[in-house]
Each structure stands twice: as structure tokens, then as C-alpha cells.
Amino acid sequence: MSEIQNQSTHWADITADKIIREKGEKSLYTCASGITPSGTVHIGNFREIITVELVVRALREKGKNVRFIYSWDDYDVFRKVPKNMPEQEKLEGYLRFPITLVPDTTGRAENYARANEKAVEDILPAVGVHPEYLYQAARYRAGYYAEDIRHALEHRDEIRAILNEYRTEPLPESWWPVAVFSSFTNKDTTTVLSWDGEYGLTYRDDELDKTETIDIRTTPNTKLPWRIDWPMRWVKEGVDFEPGGKDHLTEGGSYDTSKNVVKVFGGEAPVTMRYDFVQIKGHGGKISSSSGDVVDLYDVLEVYPPEIVRYLFVGTRPSAEFAISFDLDVLKIYEDYDNTERIYFGLIQTNDKKREKERRIYELSQVDDRKIPSEPGYQIPFRHLCNYLQIYSGDMEKVLSRLPDATESQKERLRVRMKCAWTWLEKYAPEDFCFSLRSDELYDATVEERKALHELADFVDQYLETKSEKEFSEYIYQTAKDNGMENADFFRLVYQALIGKDKGPKLASFLAACGREKVLEILRRY
């Protein structure tokens, strides 16, 4: 194991090494991630979580003790009502509230933020991600950060100078490094007026023009703005590694100012890594979050099994942008994964370097690194599996009965895969790709056409199960010839007779896949 680790060139291993090198040998390494649950947490946000998860796994495999924390910034301000949320007008009334005090109009949880959090927390274990969740609203409101807020107030000028370095408009003299939610309205439309040098903070509610003095230890209204909050928490939790999106990791971005602000709190910045955004391809056209139709982890898991979802992220350098596909690329993704798996199990020969790389990608793609499969999945092309599924109208057990040599563990994996395949066929596959065998309604065939179909039925009856695919295709041509039909016309006829379309899967193999019984059941009715 360690031998493999040492020579691994996978980015997760390289990052783990970097953390150890830069932070030194420690008894505990803290890796952090987090976002604001201000709306449905989409698949782009997942990139950060999975990036940390992979680095955490790499560190643990090097024998390190690791704490993986995930911060929900649920004391953030509700700035905009996402279009995919019900009861828009009601939510409008809560703008400028902390999201933890906004009601959940979807009826899933006690408040808006919690509903979005819960959706993520429920699904992450499915892809092998198990962080320790930290809830910032609860912490702030319980006075957990009171001393840190006071510390920021004490270093007001120093912090302002750091933030001003990159600002076009310098922060005014009257600026304070805290934000206050009004105790009258819950909104952040307030202005801090003064601080008594200890825990007393006086602010004005700008809407009501009312003034109040609060104690930051006991009144749950104060929070630090993002660029101060982030470095403060680095110190609080002793964060050694935390990646960031490219909006944070750019000159003048929040990582830049935070790595200076963190010194005010007596700490240092964690090792970081920039990840690029994730695009979506083939998801019905409506994909932008502004339209409210976000793609989240649930959507992706409907079409890809957990290990393939991981595979997408594992196999791509975080700094590279990539797209998650819901169109025909899905076929290729499955094939790519299977290919990696075949290399892992030595079913495909390749050079050492490539094999080592693919091996590591396969390992990291597995949901549980202690339960890596001991045998490859059942070898059937994804396309073929899709055809089987359609022949049996989505009945997975019937499909499995056609694959008698599959082992139990392979069947388990096939079931997950078929469920995804079926969802894909129903929701995303192109029209041309889909078919279903005729049941009640028959093709309105002419007398000549019926004769041809009868002849084909006889061949099917006699030879479909005994002749090879290639040999059987001879009978198809012969039928066309015997009935004086052009091949193209005859193929069209057979597809119409079986599936009501002009085209379909390659005929000889399609008939074989359907099986003698099913084909005859339909053809004999003409």
C-alpha cells in the first residue's frame, strides 16, 4: 500500500503530501469545506466536498489522523429568492433575514437553511462522504464566537487596512468589522454606531431608525462578515486544508485577504487548492441556477451509480472545468469507467504508468475504500444493457435471468446500474435510442408484408437460437429476397412490426437479444 502511495501521481495524493510538507507532522490534520445553504446545493458545490473527501482519504491512507469538517454558513443573509422555491411572495418578506430564520416553504425542515442542509446531509453517505457538520448560525447565536468578534473589533483598523488593499472604494473610517441583525426586524439593514471597548455594541436599525446597545456575548445578533469570518474559523478549528472556488482563489479574492486577516487572529492560512466549476450537458436545456432549475447530487445519482459519480470527480484535476453529461455521453462515461475497472483487474494490458494511474482512480472512485470489489462488474456494454432493459420494459429481474453467469455481487451492481439506465432512458435518452416492443397495437401490414413476416417468424423459430448472429442475418436477407423486397424496406417493416419505428438496434443481434419466444409472440400475430 505505502509503496503505491509513494509513487502515486494522483492529485489527491500529491495534495496530501503537500499538506504534510507544509504543515509538518501533526497528530491531527483538519480538512475543511463549507458553503452557504442559500438555495438548493447544486452539483458544483459538491465538487468542493468531494475534493476534500479525496484528500482526507489520501491522508488517512498515509496513516494520518484526520478531522473532516463541513461548515454550514447558515447565519448568512437571505439575499435573493431562488426561483425553484415555492411561495415566492412569502419568501420575499424574509429578504435580509439570516437564512436560518427564513421559513421552509417546501415543508421539509424547521427552516429554509436546514431544509437545504438536510437534503445534502441525507445523500452524502451514498457517495461515501462523511464529514462532521458545523452549524454557524447555532454557534454565532450561542455566543460561541463572542471573544473572536471582540478580537476583530479590537483590531478594526488593522483589518480595514488589509481589506482596503484590494478595494476600489476604501472602507470608511466609520466601518466596523461586524454585521448586526436587527433585534426589531431580524434584518441586517443596520449600521454599527459604536463599541464600548468590551462587549457592548450599539447599532441603529436603518429601517425603523431605532438604536439599541447589545451584548455580543448574550444577544444572538452579531456575526463577522465573510472575509473576516473565514480566517477566524481557520484559527478556531485549526484548519490545515481547505479548497476554494476560483472566485475565492484569485488575487484580491477572499483567500487573499483572509490569509492576511488570519494573522490578526494569530494563525496561518491553510493549504488550499483551486477548483473550477462544473458544467451540465444535456439536461433539458434549462440548467442555470437563476432559472431555478438546478442540478443537484440527487439528479446525478439518478443516472450514474455512486462510484461513477465519484469517478467523474476523481479522474479530473480539480483545476480543470468539466461537464457532467446527461446526453449520449452517458454511454461513454459508463464505458470509460468499465475500462478503468478492466485495467484495475488486469483484463486489459497496458503500460505500468497508465495502469498505476487507472488503479488509483479506480480505488478512489469506490464509495468505501475498505470494500473495493474483488471481481470486475459483469461484462456487458452499457448500450446492450439499455436494449435488454427496453426489451423487458424495465423489468430488471427478467434482464438478470438472461445473464445466468453473473455472480451475486455482479447482480447487485447490475441492479444499481439498470436503475440508472432506466431513468436515463425515460428522462434523457434521445428519441432514436428508445423503443418498446409492441404489445396490443399492431402494424397495419399488407398481405405481402404479412407473408414476409411469417417467413421470418419461421426462420426465427428454427434458427434464432441455434445459429450464430452472422449466420442468422443471412436468413433475414433471404426473407427479403424471397418476398421481392428491398433490404431497406424489409428492415423498416420488421422494425415497424416489432417496435413501431423505422429504425432500431442492429437487427440480428436485436432479435437474439429479444429471444425466440418474445419475437414469435409478436410476429405470430401478423
Partner RNA sequence: GGGCCGCUAGCUCAGCUGGUAGAGCAACAGACUCUUAAUCUGUGGGUCAAAGGUUCGAUCCCUUUGCGGCUCACCA
Positions in the binding site for RNA (CB under 7 A): 9, 36, 73, 76-77, 79, 166-169, 179, 225-227, 229, 246-248, 250-254, 274, 317, 319-320, 327-329, 332, 387, 430, 432-433, 435, 470, 473, 476-477, 481, 487-488, 491, 495, 502-508, 510
CA 328 to each of CA 300, 389, 432: distance values in angstroms, whole numbers, following the listed order: 14, 17, 11
Q: How far is the CB of 147 from RNA (least distance, A)?
A: 20
Backbone angles phi and psi of 444, in degrees to 5: -80, 85
- Asked whether the beta carbons of 311 and 40 are under 8 A apart, the reply is no
Q: How close are the terminal C-alpha atoms of the chain, in Å?
A: 63
Q: At 2, which amino acid appears?
A: S
Q: How many Cα atoms occupy the beta-carbon half-sphere of 280 within 13 Å?
A: 20
Residue 487 in grid coordinates: 433490404
Q: Between 130 and 317, name the residue whose CB sits nearer to RNA.
A: 317
- Among 290, 239, 287, CA closest to 39: 290
418 in Cβ contact with 392 (< 8 Å) = no
Alpha-carbon dihedral 329, 333, 334, 337, rounded to 10 degrees: 170
φ, ψ for residue 502, nearest 5 deg: -80, -25
Cell numbers found for residue 73? 454558513
Q: Which is nearer to RNA, 319 or 407 (CB)?
A: 319
Measured from the CB of residue 376, what is the shortest distance to RNA in angstroms? 18
Q: What are 266's three cell numbers?
A: 494569530
What's the min distance (Å) between Cβ of 119 and RNA?
19
Closer Cβ to RNA, 66 or 229, answer by number: 229
For residues 227 and 310, which CB has a smaller minimum distance to RNA in the complex?
A: 227
Residue with Cβ nearer RNA (225 or 394): 225
Tell me how far apart the alpha carbons of residues 279 and 293 are, in angstroms, rounded to a whole number.
14
| 382-391 vs 408-427: helix crossing angle, rounded to 10 | 80
**Whole-number Å distance between alpha carbons of 493 and 259:** 70
Computed from CA positions of residues 86, 87, 92, 98, in that sequence, does the dihedral angle turn out positive or negative?
negative
Q: Residue 252 or residue 284: which is nearer to RNA going by CB?
A: 252
Q: Which is nearer to RNA, 106 or 164 (CB)?
A: 164
Query: By C-beta, is 317 or 427 nearer to RNA?
Result: 317
Backbone angles phi, psi at 167, to 5 degrees: -90, 145
CB of 239 to RNA, least distance (A): 16
Which one, 68 or 388, has the nearer CB to RNA? Answer: 388
- Minimum distance, C-beta of residue 505 to RNA, in the bound complex (Å): 3
- Residue in the structure block whose three cell numbers are 435573493: 80
Minimum gap (Å) between residue 368 Cβ and RNA: 26
Shortest Å, Cβ 28 to RNA: 27
Least distance to RNA, CB of residue 226, Å: 3
What is the smallest separation between the CB atom of 504 and RNA, expressed in angstroms?
Answer: 5
